[in-house]
Amino acid sequence: MQDEHAIRTALSSEHGVLVSPEGIGPNAQGLPRVLVTMGSDSDLPLMMKTVNTLRHDFGIPCLVQINSVHRDLRSVVRHIESLPQSVQVVIACAGGAAHLPGNIADLRADLPVIGVPRDLGALKGIDALLSMVQMPEGAPVAVMAIGEAGAVNAAIHAAKELAIADPAIKVRLQAYAEKRKARVQGQNETLATKIESLDARA
């Protein structure tokens, strides 16, 4: 929550904020490799899953921006066309439709765009999911699952894209996978202990 508040505060006075493993805004280091963008700061709690996975699990600095296609399309075009050259992947959250990731995919044919549908409104993100997967030929959006799983997977997918040319990120991806395996092994050991305890009581 503290990091989310710091990002929200920074976004209230400037358009984008750099987030890295070292810190947020003035405390961040390095150049952003990923743009994490959303249409409103109400999307920030969900997209913190993306930001934290990028910075803590994979050591990837990211630029966090709010870009509203519906409220200020001209600014979106300007911001997306002038992204730092260090940005190699875009992750865009959308609720209700594919307008933000779809427009970015059209504006930046040189960058892969990953869409995260938000669980929002009467259809709970199904509308955003379907609109993203139905992007027309020539403007692809790689679509993740609705909600938190999608937000985390978007970060992992971005890390895999970057790992193609970055061995350090590849090592972190392997460590992340091993950590997940260890968690399952730990759960199995706990389960075995519980079963033995139940047998002893029987």
Q: What is the DSSP string of 133-182?
A: HTPPTTS--EE--SSHHHHHHHHHHHHHHHHTS-HHHHHHHHHHHHHHHH
Of 63, 72, 7, residue with least CA distance to 36: 63
Residue 93 Cα distances to 35, 42, 102, 155, 193, angstroms = 11, 11, 11, 12, 42
Can you give the pLDDT at residue 60?
Answer: 98
Cβ atoms of 7 and 24 within 8 Å: the answer is yes
pLDDT in tens, the chain (202 residues): 789 999 998 887 778 999 999 999 999 999 999 999 999 999 999 999 999 999 999 999 999 999 999 888 999 999 999 999 999 999 999 988 889 999 999 999 999 999 999 998 889 999 999 999 999 999 999 999 999 999 999 999 999 999 999 999 999 999 999 999 988 888 888 887 888 777 777 6
Can you give the pLDDT at residue 11?
Answer: 87
Cβ atoms of 152 and 50 within 8 Å: the answer is yes
Can you give the pLDDT at residue 200?
Answer: 72
Instruction: Convert 51-66 to b/e letters by CB count within 10 Å (16 or more is b).
Output: bbbbbebbbbbbbbbb
Can you give the pLDDT at residue 197?
Answer: 77
Can you give the pLDDT at residue 202?
Answer: 64
* DSSP H or E run through 34: strand 34-38
Cα angle, residue 74 at apex, residues 72 and 76 outer, rounded to 5°: 75
Cβ atoms of 4 and 24 within 8 Å: the answer is no
Cα angle, residue 105 at apex, residues 14 and 21 outer, rounded to 5°: 45
Integer Rg of the chain from CA = 19
Residue 197 tokens, joined:
């305890």
